[in-house]
Structure 1
């Protein structure tokens, strides 16, 4: 029942969004990920299937961006379904600079308290690139952890329908036993199939959290509405909290 409720709520929100905003732009995707967690020399693999979506809703110089995802995870001999949701409010302060704030909740439906994140973010738009930076604070009651994150990402458009990106973030994790420094970094690519609204993507992310290393490979298929790859970035539909989510996966 939990799986049905989460999937239904996500689908209703993401697919209804274009209907109530004429200028809405965003995407819906399906992704398979294979995280490999290394703890004290032991490797544990997981299988994760994700259905996610993002929609950006403009209002004059302001934009509301909504993210939602449902994850089905199979690991450690167990299966689980959880949700992620985020809301961003940003403004175009100049013709090529967007900045604002966001709030996000992870581990929805897991049976634990949601993991909350608040932060500030900014994007700089160049002719063939998008630069993104964020500062965020995350708190997890169940893990008894507080996380400060500073991160950045650079996306380059080799062609209008091919985007390559690389990102890195530094995280200070305050847990019961003391402070832990963590790094998350990764690369990715997305190719939009010519004359279609579909694109394929692949990414690699690594999170180093003290003695825990998490390496994740992902492959996905995405459907875009309202515009293509670069149009999504320019409209604020590329905003997300993936770097924070990667760090939380190592805790």
Structure 2
């Protein structure tokens, strides 16, 4: 666990240093809390999740780049660390590119690669999608294929509403395929003339193969640098992490 915390702390420290290093970078740092109600095969359980996270977008030569990272603690017990690197190029009013990332804890490591794209429509709406392949090889050997999309609507420069939908299928040695669906909604509001915002969301995940479903309510606080919430989004600083795509993290 100490190795995981050290690695994730280094990522978050990098994100923070980028704020002071260049006024041209765009991104955020934040803290989140989530409460999950899990129903698996008729057994109910509650899980509290605490997270520190951040992301920064910058230029990498002729390409755009984003690095995001997170430290996540589950119920005061297990802690995981995750990071994702994105590289992309502008296409019209959007971008296309790829990503590679991983999330690791004492018990399991999930890594993955994939493609993603974003289209900014009519100045108020952004469409974002990602698809990729992931692998787990600690406790068991498993392949994961996943796809996920978001619709983001900006009522104002600093008020964002988001809807998301995702699907993942896991193929493990000696186990039949496990399919999982997830859907969520989120709102973020940045206070006038400040870089500070609050975020709240709800996510639902369901797997008939496991006879399991989970409902998560989350709240958070963020510091945005480099512009408004809309600037952060349309610059390519709000791309989804590998953890979010493959389901390794519960709240990000």
- TM-score > 0.5 by shorter chain: yes
2:179 aligned to which of 172, 178, 181: 181
Which whole-Å CA distance do the structure 1 matches of 2:45 and 2:22 have between them? 44
Superposed counterparts of 1:151-170, under 5 Å: 151-170=148-167
Residue of structure 2 equivalent to 1:84: 82
Q: Where does the alignment leave 5 or more consecutive residues of structure 2 unmatched?
A: none
Q: Determine the C-alpha separation between the residues in 2 that align with 1:47 and 1:118.
A: 28
2: distance between equivalents of 1:192 and 1:173? 37
CA root-mean-square deviation = 1.9
Deviation at 1:20, TM superposition (A): 3.7
8 Å contact from structure 1 (residues 100, 122) kept in 2: yes
Which secondary structure does the structure 2 equivalent of 1:56 belong to? Answer: strand
- 1:71 and 1:64 mapped to 2: Cα distance? 23
Please give the TM-score of this superposition, normalised by the length of structure 1: 0.90
Contact preservation (8 Å) 1:105, 1:116: yes
Residues 72 and 113 of structure 1: CA distance in aligned 2, closer, same or farther (over 3 Å): closer
- Cα shift at 1:248: 6.4
- The alignment covers a number of residue pairs equal to 243
Of stretches 168-177 and 217-226 in structure 1, the one that deviates more from structure 2 is 168-177
Deviation for aligned residue 1:10: 3.2
Structure 1, gaps ≥5 residues long: none
Which residue does 2:95 correspond to in 1?
98
Measure how far apart 1:47 and its partner are. Answer: 0.9
Q: Which has the higher contact order (CA 8 A, sep 6+)?
A: 2
SS in 1 for 2:77: strand
2:124 counterpart of 1:128: yes
Are positions 1:200 and 2:195 aligned together?
Answer: no
Q: Find the counterpart in structure 2 of residue 118 from structure 1.
A: 113
Q: CA deviation at 1:145?
A: 2.0
